[in-house]
Amino acid sequence: MKKIKLIALDMDGTLLNDDGVVSPYTHDIIQQALAQGTEVVLSTGRPLPMCSTFAEELKLPSYIITSNGAEIWTVNHELIDRHPLEVEQIKRLWQLGYERNLHMWIVATDQVFVNRQRPENFEDHVWLKLGYGNLTEKVKRDLLSDLEHIEEIEITNSSLTNLEVNRAGVNKANAINFICKRLNISMEEVMAIGDSLNDLKMIEQAGIGVAVKNAQQLIIESADYVTETNNDNGVAKAIEKYVLD
């Protein structure tokens, strides 16, 4: 096994405990990894304004992957890469949810619209992601059937009761690959930790793919290793096992 040079961390349900914070123990272990020269990158479905404070808190030195890989930023908020949805795609996606009276959130580069809100003109924004929430299994199946008719999109989730839609080819694994090339690191030298379907590809493609114990079943089955839950310092324990000297 190659030495791990980069750790990619999902946030919700993984790095953050159920109170939405990084535990002091996990914070300390991440600092130890950074001190020995290991890159640590947040890889999240959140947009930048909802995750940058955590990067600052952890004193991360390099990159943040946001909106499931639709954007890559430096920790100094310099945009490195962006893959937006087409305006016609976001219109169709929003209309699907509106017709079904679904809870939705749509993420633009400059604003997040929630609770079925929409902009006056979709054309006035650059769109990164749309999410449908509070879904029953039947509604989810019906919605997936309809989404199949929209071309060039990538569908994942960040919990069992939602679906998230990005542009085709947008995922955390591709974003990590992009960063690896900049850092001259191979995917074999990456450890990725997550809990949901938007983490699946990075867990599959990383040298070590780790699922927290509270992860969705498919993530657990796809991982090389299952660590403790997000409430039991699972991220820290995986770093101790595979990264710290």
Which residues are identified as catalytic? 10
- Are 8 and 176 in contact, with CB atoms under 8 Å apart? yes
Q: Distance between CA 218 and CA 216 in Å, rounded?
A: 6
In which residue are the tokens 């100094």 written? 76
Helices vs. strands in the chain: H and E counts, helices first: 8, 13
CA dihedral 202, 107, 163, 94 (to 10 degrees): -140
Residues facing 129 on adjacent strands: 107
CB atoms within 10 A of CB 123: 11
Longest dimension (CA), the chain: 55
The alpha carbon dihedral of 102, 67, 202, 56 has a sign of: negative
Rg (CA), the chain: 17
Strand order in the sheet with 79-82: 79-82, 71-74, 63-66, 39-43, 6-9, 190-194, 208-212, 225-227
